[in-house]
A and B are shown apart, each in its own frame.
Chain A
Amino acid sequence: DARVTQTPRHKVTEMGQEVTMRCQPILGHNTVFWYRQTMMQGLELLAYFRNRAPLDDSGMPKDRFSAEMPDATLATLKIQPSEPRDSAVYFCASAEGAKTYEQYFGPGTRLTVT
């Protein structure tokens, strides 16, 4: 049963600390998305990659967020320094080929910044 995995599932950190979230997309999926979900803003697209190349990161605060795909099996999202307003659930999703609207989401990382 192929699925997207994310680590850690939960992260509590103090303001100013670096946070790294990891995602393993479904094998064979060539498009990877990072989303943030909050009660106030709903689901927001932060960035996405196709064939490991960043295509759009316009939804991401550039000064503190960065996203990379070191290889086809790993996507990372880093926040440095973290702030309380970054508290949210961060989802990774992957999609195959041209059907990028059919996205498979991971279980999310719940981030709390105190």
Chain B
Amino acid sequence: DAGVIQSPRHEVTEMGQEVTLRCKPISGHNSLFWYRQTMMRGLELLIYFNNNVPIDDSGMPEDRFSAKMPNASFSTLKIQPSEPRDSAVYFCASSLSWWEFFGPGTRLTVL
């Protein structure tokens, strides 16, 4: 099993640009999570999907952030427009029941 796959691994963009992060969960898992990690705030849950349906998006910082899960094998996190304070490592995780499997993360730098 390849584990959770995230792309790109690194993204550098300029303020105001749209950024799309992608995630492929582990096959058969029915829950998907997006997290953000910064030095200041640590690891924060942004949104959680179960069976492709968003269950809890209370961690999404503002309307510039949106997440979709069109099918069981793909999810996106979009930031439009991006700002320097969005610079962070974004992790995707998937789960079937007891625990979560995390991807390698996408390091986003917004200049």
Verify that A and B bind, or say they do not.
no
User: Which residues in B have some Cβ–Cβ distance to A below 8 Å?
Assistant: none
